[in-house]
Amino acid sequence: MKTVFKNISKIYTSNGNTFQAGALQGAVKIYSNCDIAVSNGIITDIDTGISHGSADDVVDCLGGICLPGFIDSHTHPVFAATRQDEFIDRLKGLSYEEITERGGGIHASIEKARAASAEELFQVLERNVRQFISQGITSFEAKSGYALDRKGELKLLKVLNRYREGSELDIKITYLGGHLLPKGISSEEFIAQVKSTIKEVADDGLADYFDVWVEDIAFDLKQAGEMIAEADNAGLGVRIHANEISSFGGGMLAEKYPLTSIDHFDFFTDEELEVIARKKINITLLPMTQFSLGTEDYPDASLLIKKGIPVSLATDFNPGTCYSSNIQFLAQIAFMKCGMDVYEILNALTINPAASLQMAEMTGTIEVGKHGDLVIMDIPDLESMFYAVGMNNIRYTVKNGKIIYRRTYES
């Protein structure tokens, strides 16, 4: 199957299979007035005036721009119910910690996820991923973490695996066993349970990564380290939530453990940055969560970039603190609040998350030999994506050369 995408005014992409960091964080190549040919899912040509004669399909992009398919490297898409009531409570002045202490937050999601059937959870997941696709997401990471007992977490992971097996998207699955200490169990008992489940998850191939939240309302460095060591020994990659609420020192875990990504990281010290830069560990920033929480604690990404630390951006899509998969709005917030320029942001949404998920050899850039994962947008240039605040400018989402989302109206 050969498809030619014609009449593309500009193509914006990085190159290669590794992180773009430091001065290269904003390294982007721009093609003008080019076509893209995709054969059997793989990009075979990027050039002007590609012949359409042997093509099975020709897609007219109508002078729009083309970007690599977006890669969302931090999502929580499998849950039983949303928590919109908490959003209203936060607007009335309650803090995240106060909501958690009175039984809301993750605790509320735990009760509902444990009670839900696998089929109910699967239907929620399907609906959420349809939204992802409409936002130009062609690959993503998906976490469990809303049951926090062995039976419930295995149920969530099996739902994610069932979806992955039938999906056209590339999906990496994370066992978020250390999300929070649930009610009715001691930290010692819980950590022992998580360590036992890690082995089962790894042996059964149910996850690619393990994750733990390092924060004063979750787990300290010693507790997190105990779970991380178990995951590493079991062969799982490790991603962590750290320093979301305070400068808790979670970044120092990079000194001892092979972390794949440190996520949130809204507060940090010079000491943490030195360790992370030396270890060349990716930082995934999630500024839509700050927006949803109504705070102004946006991380200064420019400090990370100056240190040579690769920066990714992700939605943190979840039922409580960020119920949005709008990648374009995420980009706009990063531009306005996090000290990033437009090309740095593009790489933070494409090649860097691809590298952090160990999929950069096949996706994350528009290059001959890589998968035909594309976003076609009906705007004249990349800068216009940042100008059109909150809008969805996507005409087509393309996975392996196949259109999987097509806007059903014309502006």
pLDDT 10s digit of each residue in the chain, 411 long?
999 999 999 999 999 999 999 999 999 999 999 999 999 999 999 999 999 889 999 999 999 999 999 999 999 999 999 988 888 888 788 887 788 777 778 888 999 999 999 999 999 999 999 999 999 999 999 999 999 999 999 999 999 999 999 999 999 999 999 999 999 999 999 999 999 999 999 999 999 999 999 999 999 999 999 999 999 999 999 999 999 999 999 999 999 999 999 999 999 999 999 999 999 999 999 999 999 988 999 999 999 999 999 999 999 999 999 999 999 999 999 999 999 999 999 999 999 999 999 999 999 999 999 999 999 999 999 999 999 999 999 999 999 999 999 998 654
Q: What does the pLDDT read at residue 86? A: 85
Q: Is the pTM higher than 0.85?
A: yes
Exposed / middle / buried, residue 244 (Cβ in 10 Å: 0-12, 13-18, 19+)? buried
Q: What does the pLDDT read at residue 169? A: 98
Domains in the chain with CATH codes = 2-68+365-406 (2.30.40.10), 71-356 (3.20.20.140)
Q: How many CA atoms lie within 13 A of 379 on its CB side?
A: 19
Cβ pair 70, 331 in contact under 8 A = no
Q: What does the pLDDT read at residue 410? A: 58
